[in-house]
Structure 1
Amino acid sequence: MNHPVKRIIGSALAIAAIVAGSAGVAAADNDNGNFPCNPSGKDVAYCNAKVGDIVDVAIGDVAPTQPSVGYDEIDYKLGRYTLGKDAINKKFDDWCADSGLVAVASAQPNATLQDASTFTCQLAPGAETDASRNDMKTVVVGPHGKLYMADGHHALTSFWETADGGPGMHIRLKVVGNLSNLNPSGFWDTMVQKNWAWLYDNNDQPIKPRQLPSTSR
């Protein structure tokens, strides 16, 4: 988790872009038994994900687990991406590091985060090392196979808000827990216990899971 949190998510510059469906988040306060994966659901592919697995996902398909973020880091990243003072734009370097591939090695003149084939990282997917995997942003598999952010809210918000990012941009994330067999209340209890969720607003007042962002900006 990234602390301290400062600004409510959901503003014009918001991690509300990284969302679960509103019905799914609202249901998280109810305890109606187990929520096994639906074979026809779009998230079913993650139901059997194991701790340590790497998943390639669109950032818009990852749900937030805290209501606000500190924007100094995000503003710095966006400024760095925009200024273009680096030989290879820092956004590609960040993508490679966050994806477990160390750093950017090269980029085409028209390289874009929307197409990972336009730039290369120091490691190829599948060649990750223990050290490179330690730098990855992480997710937890929740009820119905939904992915929830464990660490990386600032990084994914920055990628969402950069010009060639957005909800459809893909990134590789490491699975640190699979809680898909738990009911919603058990899921959120475990998320908080393991410090994978921060259910407090920017005034340090507790919130319910249903109060987490559930719509795009």
Structure 2
Amino acid sequence: MKRVTPALLASLITVGFSCSPFSYAQTVKTLNVSQIRPTQPAIGDDEVNYKVAKLQNDHKALFDEFCENIGAKGVKTFDSQSSLAQPTSFSCLAAPGTDAEDVKSAVIAPDHHIYLTDGHHTVSTFRALANNQDFPFVVRITNDFSHLASMDRFWSTMQQQHLTWLEDPQGKPVAATQLPQQVGLQAMQDDPYRSIVYFLRGIAYDKPDQAPPFLEFYLGSWLRSQQPVNTQQLSTKTGYMAYLQQAAARLVAAPGGQHSTDKVDSPTLSQLGQRQTVNEKKLNKLAEPGGKLSLLFKEG
């Protein structure tokens, strides 16, 4: 098995850009992270900021996660000066794409840009950790839609196949032409409900093995209608924790057959993994030292 050296990684990156604009023969593609386009308008900023806080002072964990997410198993070499923005400053245990199932999915559009269909929070986290400097990233192409006649046809197909979420954080429709041009905190809107649902995973719901597409956004839509958030409340750890406690209790108490939105074809709460009881132990851990909320609010 090949091991990734700085020279090999550099050559892989060169190969990724040697075609015009991409070689479609391979499933796994390497491109600059700034070239990846989103298929949704928003992310949960607090989820990303928590992950940044978790990784920014742990270089081993950071490069391990990065190497794993590009399908390269884990980190091999790094030092205190290593940076995602300097690919030759660290190396992975295997070539990018070796473990293709670990690579985030994307599609190719008729405009020949690559659109991310999974991993918006992961990409945003790595970009924040790189201080928004560019770096090579690897995606797994699941569909090549470059043959479609137009971008309108592309977005229609994406909606039919549940590969895009075209609603803003207020639940209002968003035209595909209004989507950001890049993935990241600086480019995308903040959806606080998306972060709330992330923190409630394993507490008020368990993600099913065969989860409906955009599960977290559906649960976020339900919370927005049932327990509107006061952003001021989320500005302190105490307020955030109080909201999560209330949201968890409300979610597990709701009828399992209730639809997550006002659309009759939207997934029900049961289909979204609604728990019958709140996992109080896991909920309380959020605010303990080293817990997710403690790290988010930089309390260690």
Fold equivalence (TM over 0.5): yes
How far apart are 1:165 and its partner, in Å?
Answer: 4.7
Aligned residue in 2 for 1:27: none
Alignment deviations for residues 175-197 of structure 1 (CA, whole Å, 9 cap, x no partner): 11111111111100111222221
Higher strand content, 1 or 2: 1
- 2:124 pairs with one of 157, 171, 185: 157
| Amino acid in the other structure paired with 1:104 | V
RMSD: 2.3
**Per the alignment, do residues 80 and 92 of structure 1 end up closer, same or farther by CA in structure 2, a change over 3 Å counting?**
same
The reply to whether residue 120 of structure 1 matches residue 91 of structure 2 is yes
The reply to whether residue 146 of structure 1 matches residue 98 of structure 2 is no
For residues 149 and 189 of structure 1, the distance between their equivalents in structure 2, rounded to whole angstroms, comes to 16
Summarize the alignment of residues 84-103 of structure 1 with structure 2, pairs less than 5 Å apart: 84=57, 86=58, 88-103=59-74
Structure 1 stretches lacking a partner, 5+ long? 1-41
- 2:143 pairs with one of 152, 169, 177: 177
SS in 2 for 1:210: helix
Aligned residue in 2 for 1:21: none
For residues 46 and 87 of structure 2, the distance between their equivalents in structure 1, rounded to whole angstroms, comes to 27
Contact residue 95 and residue 171 of structure 1 kept, 8 A: no
SS in 2 for 1:93: helix
Contact residue 49 and residue 141 of structure 1 kept, 8 A: no
User: Where has structure 1 moved over 3 Å in runs of 4 or more?
Assistant: 214-217
How far apart are 1:167 and its partner, in Å?
Answer: 5.0
Contact residue 61 and residue 147 of structure 1 kept, 8 A: yes
Aligned residue in 2 for 1:62: 36
SS in 1 for 2:147: coil
SS in 2 for 1:64: coil
Contact residue 43 and residue 145 of structure 1 kept, 8 A: no
State the number of aligned residues.
Answer: 166
Of structures 1 and 2, the larger Rg is shown by 2
How far apart are 1:81 and its partner, in Å?
Answer: 2.5
**Per the alignment, do residues 165 and 179 of structure 1 end up closer, same or farther by CA in structure 2, a change over 3 Å counting?**
farther
How far apart are 1:149 and its partner, in Å?
Answer: 0.9
For residues 157 and 186 of structure 1, the distance between their equivalents in structure 2, rounded to whole angstroms, comes to 28
How far apart are 1:55 and its partner, in Å?
Answer: 1.1
For residues 122 and 160 of structure 1, the distance between their equivalents in structure 2, rounded to whole angstroms, comes to 22
- Greater shift after overlay, 164-173 or 203-212? 164-173
Aligned residue in 2 for 1:44: 20
**Per the alignment, do residues 140 and 166 of structure 1 end up closer, same or farther by CA in structure 2, a change over 3 Å counting?**
same
SS in 1 for 2:84: coil
Summarize the alignment of residues 126-141 of structure 1 with structure 2, pairs less than 5 Å apart: 128=98, 132-141=99-108
Q: Identity of counterpart residues, as a percentage? A: 27
Structure 2 stretches lacking a partner, 5+ long? 1-17, 188-300
Greater relative CO, 1 or 2 (CA 8 Å, sep 6+)? 1
The reply to whether residue 73 of structure 1 matches residue 47 of structure 2 is yes
Alignment deviations for residues 99-122 of structure 1 (CA, whole Å, 9 cap, x no partner): 011222321332111122221222
Aligned residue in 2 for 1:32: none
Contact residue 81 and residue 90 of structure 1 kept, 8 A: yes
